[in-house]
Amino acid sequence: MARAVSTRRKIGFTVAAWVVAMLIFFPILYTIITSFKSETEAIAGFSLIPSGTLESYAEVQAQSNYFKFFLNSVIIAVGSTILALVVAVPAAWSMAFSPTKRTKDILMWMLSTKMMPAVAVLVPIYLIFRDTHLLDTRIGLTVMLMLINLPIVVWMLYTYFREIPGEILEAARMDGATLWGEIVYVLTPMAVPGIASTMLLNIILAWNEAFWTIRLTTTNAAPLTAFIASFSSPQGLFWAKLSAASTLAIAPILIMGWFSQRQLVRGLTFGAVK
C-alpha cells in the first residue's frame, strides 16, 4: 500500500520535473534542432523537426577551424582553474580553520575586486598586456581568467571547508597527528568533493567568459567565444550556422557537465557527516 503511494508520488514528481526541465532546456534544444536545419528552414517559423542537413556544420568548419579554438578553450579554462585552485585552496583552508576577526572582511574585499566593470578597464589592461607582450598569448589569458575567478573560487571553497567539522581536527590532534598529517590524511579526503565541484564550476565560468577572451586575443590564443563571435552576424540571416557554431561551442562543456553532474551534486553532500 505504502509502496503504491510512493510509486504514484514518484511518477508525479517525475512528470513535474520533466516538464520544468524541458521548459528550461527548450532554448538550447531549439538551438540544437535549428543547427540541423537549412537557413531557409531556420527562419520559416516554428518547427521541431529539422531536415537533418549537416550543411551548417560543414560551412562552419570550412570557415573556421573549430579544433584550434576548442583546444585554446580547454587550455585556458583548465589552466586558469588549476592555477586558481593552487592559490585558493590554502587561502580558503586557513580562513575556514583559523578564522580571525578580519576573515569575513577579507572575503568580502576579495569579492569586491570583481566590482570594477570590465569595459571600464579595457584600455588600461590592454596597455599592460601590450607592454608585457601578453596580447594573444594563452598564458596571458590564463592568468587573467585565474584572477577574475579567484574570488569566486576562494568563496566556494571557504563555504565548503566550513562544513567540515572541527572536532575531527581536534581528534586527530589528540592522536598526535602533525599539522601536515592532519592536512594530508584527515582533511584532504573530506575536502576533495568540494574542490571537485568548485573546479567544475570554475571551468564553466572560464569557458563562458566572453569579454576578455575576445578582446585580448587575435589568432593564437583565441578560444571558442571568439569562434562564436565570428558567426553572429548583424547583416545576413545565418541562424542555422550560428546555431551550429553555438552547439559546437556548448557541446564539450555540456558533455563534461553530463558526466560530472553526479560529482557536481553529490560531491557536496559531505556536509551530511556532521
Partner 1 sequence: MKLNTLFLGLCGASALAFAAHAETITIATVNNGDMVRMQKLTDDFTTKNPDIQLEWVTLEENVLRERVTTDIATKGGQYDVMTIGTYEVPIWAKQQWLLPLDNLGADYDAADIIPAIAGGLSADGKLYAAPFYGESSFVMYRKDLMEKAGLTMPDAPTWDFIADAARKMTDRAAEINGICLRGKAGWGENMAFLTAMSNSFGARWFDEKWQPQFDQPEWKKTLQFYVDLMKDAGPSGASSNGFNENLALFQQGKCGMWIDATVAASFVSNPKDSTVADKVGYALAPDTGLGKRGNWLWAWSLGIPAGTQKAEAAQKFVAWATGKGYLDLVASKEGWANVPPGTRTSLYNNPEYQKAAPFAKMTLDSINSADPTKPTVKPVPYVGVQFVAIPEFQGLGTTVGQLFSAALAGQSSVDDALAAAQTASVREMTRAGYIK
Partner 2 sequence: MATRQTSTLARFMMAPSVILLFIWMIVPLAMTLWFSFQNYNLLNPGNVSFAGLFNYKFFYTDPAFFQSIWNTLVLVVGVLLITVIGGIALALLLDQPMFGQGIVRILVISPFFVMPPVAALVWKNMIMHPGYGVFADIAKFFGAQPVDWFAQYPLFSIIIIVAWQWLPFATLILLTALQSLDGEQKEAAEMDGAGFVSRFIYLTVPHISRAVTVVILIQTIFLLGVYAEILVTTNGGPGYASTNLPFLIYRTALLGYDVGGASAGGIIAVILANIVAFFLMRAVGKNLDK
Binding residue (CB under 8 A) for partner 1 from 130, 254, 255, 269: 130
Say how many residues touch partner 2, by CB under 8 A. Answer: 99
CB 194 within 8 A of CB 270: yes
**Of residues 45-64, those binding partner 2 (CB under 8 A):** 45-46
For residue 105, what are the CA distances in angstroms to 89, 95, 112, 139, 154?
Answer: 18, 11, 10, 31, 13
Cell, residue 140: 596571458
Three cell numbers, residue 22: 524541458
Q: Does 235 bind partner 1 (CB under 8 A)?
A: yes
Window 182-221: contact mask with partner 2 (x via CB under 8 A): ---------------x---x--x--xx-xx----------
117 binds partner 1 (CB under 8 A): no
- 179 to 88, 94, 137, 164, 242: CA distances (angstroms): 19, 12, 40, 16, 54
58 binds, among partner 1, partner 2, none (CB under 5 to 8 A by kind): none
Helical ranges in 164-187 per DSSP H: 166-174, 179-181
Q: Exactly one of 37, 151, 231, 247 binds partner 1 (CB under 8 A); which one?
A: 231
Q: How far is the CB of 62 from partner 2 (least distance, A)?
A: 21
Give the Cα separation of 2 and 125 in Å (integer).
64
Q: Nearer to partner 1 by C-beta: 225 or 247?
A: 225
Q: By CB under 8 A, name the binding residues for partner 1.
A: 39-40, 43-45, 62-64, 122-123, 126-127, 130, 135-136, 214-215, 218-219, 222, 226, 229-237
